[in-house]
A and B are shown apart, each in its own frame.
Chain A
Amino acid sequence: MQRMAKFYILLVAILLVITACSSNNGGTTTTNNGTNTNSSQSETNSSSHNSSEKENVTITAWAWNVNVGALNAAAELYKAENPHVTLKVEDIGRLDVYDKLSTGLAAGGIGLPDIVLVEDDRIGGYVEAFPKGFLDLSAQGFEANEAVFPNFKLELAKVNGTYYAFPFDAGPAGMFYRTDIFADAGVNADSIETWDDYIEAGKLIKEKTGSFMAPLDKFNDDPTLRMMLNQLGIYYFDAEGNIDFLHPDFAVAMAKQKVMDDAGLIKDVIGWDGVVSATIDGSVATIPFGAWYYGTIVDQAKDLDGKWGVFRMPSFEKGENHSANLGGSSWMIPSTTKNTDEVYKFLNFFSTNDQVQQIAMTDYGLFPSLQTVYATEVFTSEVSFFGGQKIWELFANEMPTIKTPYYTNDYAIGLDEAIKAQADVFNGKAIDVALKEAAERLASRTDRQINAY
């Protein structure tokens, strides 16, 4: 048995070594929240002691991809005035952020950061599922910021009248298009005002160049439908949270999409990769999306520099609303944060500072919701990748007239049912039947009322 004892001692020793190793490697040692003053020891110690009355504070944040860069840039600017504040951003995949956030919240508020990036369509769901999970921003005085954000972003940042998020980027919709394909077909983008114009142009383009008009993951996603609904001033739910699938305009939007498909203008693609692929290879002449799609185009289609343009999303009737929004995110503060005031101050700075939002725009392609930025130079500049067109100006002009898409906390389920209805319609089901069935399924899954018309 001595041998066995020796073995166990060895095993325990190994475990102790591992423990010792990992504690030194920047792991946080707190359990109940992400903020602590133990990590980034070197940074906080070396900061100046000008503001000696203020304790050194480290703010942790979770964000994905380009947003990380925006945060870091902001943190540097902030540090000039607030040397005691250090930002530590974790770059985590978008869906992974949600998995970690959900797990942390469900576990009772463990391991959460001070700041987390959340897409607007998830805010309602998170707050409803975890009512005590996020900081009440109204109590911190958020209302003071109302003037600088467009109405729809403010609506989306609120749940039951209380603010829970700082608006960040928006997705004003526009029609990205290939200027060369349009030229080959002899179509003038300026002449497209309504969806019907768009369809006519599409037929011509298909005939002359073989390109489809737009890509769509027909059976798995409905971004075009969502933009159309938003244009028409409706969405899956209304402001009261009732199901609006039976609204006459819902059927109008669905029908318009079906007409496009029947005319052979929609290219069925698979998933995000499919959309990007179609964007690059010229198999589609336009892509209706939010302003953020700019980033993908310049990243993945480098060979097509100068061959792009943007025009306004077509409206349903001449003279009616063109603007819509797709996507966009905001910053939320989990309630487990230990530095409420500091974190709020920082986010307030981030969200309302023109310079920060400009950097987010120019360096990272994140379209700001902060209205004051639209007056700055970058928004009137020409974008060479887009043939010198002032695309940012176009998008900025859309922002004021965007209506609120009422996501509610059941957005995920609403999306699921809308996509099913769309798929049914593409497969030949009558629109009113498909919508009615989807509405009923949605009602039974969410216990909401269906608006009758």
Chain B
Amino acid sequence: MKQVSYKSLGYLLLILGAIISLFPFYWAIVSSTHVSGKVFAKPPTLFFGDQFFINLVNLNESIGIVRVLGNSLLIVTIYTISALAVCTMAGYAFSKFKFKGRDVLFAMFMVSMMIPFHALVIPLFKLMANLNWLNSYEAIILPSIAYPFAIFLMRQNLFAVPDPMLEAGRIDGVSEWGLFIRIVLPSIKPALAAVAIFLFMHQWNNFLWPLIAVQTKEMYTLPVALSSLFGLSRIDYGQVMAGVVIATTPIIIFFLALQKHFIAGVLGSAVK
């Protein structure tokens, strides 16, 4: 009997949690289908309206949603792929090799996660200006390709790759690079998926740095463009919410596509 009640309790908890987690997003979707003022309605408007396309059109007029969405997608895609490559390689070096300075370098990466980004914005900005890369895709993408959190996760996952497998490959005369590409990578596919999701998340919602690095609206990413809808007092919440819906959809799709691997991939890294 005890079992049954625990199970029901479990379901109840989960359902409650799911509703709480989803409600704000649901409310955002509903708000995007109404006129601006409705967002403040009491009780909250929970049913869909008919203003979505109008809001979308207005949003496009305000920020050029197609261009902005395109920027975000392009940047995030390039970022995820390059960061995944770079961080996996670094994680591989840290986990499967002994070399001078390994622990110090790794510690350096880890400590950098503790530094509040606000302190680094200005020098980074100056650097980008000196490199003549302000207002470019590379300015947004490059600074966080070497993403310590991703390096950490990959290192953890790569510990699990059996050394004998690598040794066997070496004995067979496989090059180090070949070893990496043909033996190591395929064996950590779930980890690649998991880290890809984290990287995607990081760059998709990245706000402060793209805001500072970008000079013209043609280069805006979604978060920056959405923020530009907020003047002092005249805010069209219908547009804002429509933007939110558009901003959240790609990452949800990405997560849905990779989620099975995600669970498995996080696993390897978390359990030491």
Mark B residues whose CB is within 8 Å of A.
Answer: 35-37, 40-42, 62-63, 78, 82, 85, 121-123, 125-126, 129-130, 132, 134-138, 141, 175-178, 181, 208, 211-212, 215-219, 224, 227-237
B215 touches A22 (CB 8 A): no
Closest CB in chain A relative to B241 CB, distance in Å? 13
Which of B78, B135, B177, B230 contacts A64 (CB under 8 A)? B230
- A sample of 30 inter-chain contacts (CB < 8 A) reads A3-B178, A4-B176, A7-B177, A14-B82, A19-B138, A22-B137, A23-B136, A27-B135, A28-B215, A28-B216, A31-B134, A32-B129, A65-B230, A65-B232, A65-B235, A90-B215, A91-B62, A91-B228, A93-B227, A93-B230, A94-B230, A99-B211, A103-B212, A106-B122, A110-B125, A111-B125, A281-B42, A300-B36, A302-B35, A327-B232
Q: Which residues of B contact A22 (CB under 8 A)?
A: 135-138, 219
> 17 other contacts beyond A1-B175, A67-B231, A94-B231, with CB at 8 A cut-off?
A1-B176, A3-B177, A3-B178, A14-B78, A26-B219, A27-B135, A27-B216, A27-B218, A64-B228, A65-B230, A66-B234, A93-B230, A103-B125, A110-B125, A119-B232, A300-B37, A327-B232
Residues of A within 8 A of B121 (CB): 103
Chain A contacts of B82 at CB under 8 A? 11, 14
Contact digits for A324-348, partner B, Cβ 8 Å, 1 yes 0 no:
0001000000000000000000000
Whether B126 and A107, one on each chain, are in contact in the complex, defined by CB atoms closer than 8 angstroms, is: yes
Contacting chain B: which of A198-206, A246-254, A272-280? A272-280
Mark each residue of chain A from 43 to 66: 1 if its CB lies under 8 Å from any CB of chain B, else 0: 000000000000000000000111
Distance to closest chain A CB from B207 (angstroms): 9
Interface contact B233-A107, CB-CB below 8 Å: no
Do A296 and B135 touch across chains, with their CB atoms under 8 A apart? no
With beta carbons under 8 angstroms apart, the residue of A11, A99, A276 that contacts B85 is A11
Which chain B residues lie closer than 8 Å to A7 at the CB level? 177
Hey, which chain A residues are within 8 Å of B178, CB to CB? 3
A293 to B231, CA, bound (A): 12
Q: How large is the interface on A (under 10, 10 to 19, 20 to 34, 35 or more residues)?
A: 35 or more
Cα-based distance from A67 to B141 in the complex (angstroms): 31
Please report the C-alpha to C-alpha distance between residue A119 and residue B236 in the assembled complex, in whole angstroms: 21
The complex places the Cα of A91 from the Cα of B236 at a distance, in Å, of 15
Cα A94 to Cα B233 with chains together (Å): 10
Distance between Cα atoms of A273 and B125 in the complex (Å): 33
The answer to whether B218 touches A110 (Cβ under 8 A) is no
Which residues of A are found within 8 Å of B85, using beta-carbon distances? 11
Q: Is the CB of A296 within 8 A of B233?
A: yes
Does A412 count as interface, using CB distance less than 8 angstroms? Answer: no
B215 proximity list for chain A (CB < 8 A): 27-28, 34, 90, 111
Known: A11-B85, A302-B35. A27 touches B234 (CB 8 A): no
CB–CB B135/A281 < 8 A: no
Q: At the interface, is chain A mostly helix, strand, loop or mixed?
A: helix
Give A179-215 interface residues, CB cut-off 8 Å to B.
none
Interface of B is mostly: helix
CB proximity of A261 to chain B, nearest CB, Å = 23
A131 at the binding interface (Cβ < 8 Å):
no
Once the chains are docked, how many angstroms separate the CA of A301 from the CA of B216?
A: 33
A96 within 8 Å of B by Cβ? yes
Q: Known contacts A103-B121, A300-B36: does B41 contact A281 (CB below 8 Å)? A: yes
In the bound complex, CA of A19 to CA of B134 (Å): 11
Interface centre among B177, B212, B233 (most CB of A within 10 A): B233
Q: Does A25 contact B (CB under 8 A)?
A: yes
Partner of B232, one of A92, A106, A292: A292
Q: 3 smallest A-B Cβ distances: which pairs?
A: A65-B231, A277-B40, A3-B177
Q: Is the CB of B233 within 8 A of A292?
A: yes
Cβ contact within 8 Å between B42 and A111: no
- The answer on a CB contact under 8 Å between A293 and B229 is no
Q: Is A139 located at the chain interface by the 8 A CB criterion?
A: no
Cβ–Cβ < 8 Å partners of B235 in chain A? 65, 296, 299
Is B138 a contact partner of A18 (Cβ separation < 8 A)? yes
Q: Within the complex, what minimum Cβ distance (angstroms) separates B73 from chain A?
A: 13
Instruction: Indicate if A108 sits at the interface (CB-CB under 8 A).
Output: yes
A15 at the interface (CB under 8 A from B): yes
Q: Give Cα A34 to B129, complex, Å.
A: 12
Complex CA gap A21/B138 in Å reads: 10
Do B218 and A301 touch across chains, with their CB atoms under 8 A apart? no
Contact of B37 among A27, A104, A110, A280 (CB under 8 A): A280
- CB pair B40–A280 under 8 Å, yes or no, is yes
Complex Cα–Cα for A26 and B217 (A): 9
Q: Please measure, in the bound complex, the distance between the C-alpha atom of A292 and the C-alpha atom of B232, giving whole angstroms.
A: 9
Docked-complex contact A21 and B137, CB < 8 angstroms: yes
For A295, what are the chain B residues with a Cβ–Cβ distance below 8 Å? 233-234
Partner pick for B129 among A18, A110, A303, CB 8 A cutoff: A110
> CB-defined interface of A81-111 with B at 8 Å, one 1/0 digit per residue?
0000000101111111001100110111011
- Does the CB pair A96–B136 fall under 8 Å? no
A66 to B230 Cα, complex, angstroms: 10
A108 to chain B: which residues have CB within 8 Å? 126
A119 to B231, CA, bound (A): 12
Bound-state CA distance A280–B216 (Å) is 35
Shortest Cβ distance from B78 into A: residue = A18
Residues of A within 8 Å of B234, CB to CB, are: 65-66, 295-296, 299, 365
Does A389 lie at the interface of the complex (its beta carbon under 8 Å from any beta carbon of B)? no
- Check if A110 sits within 8 Å of B231, measured CB to CB: no
The reply to whether A301 and B130 form a contact with Cβ atoms under 8 Å apart is no
Of A31, A39, A106, A108, the most chain B CB neighbours within 10 A belong to: A31
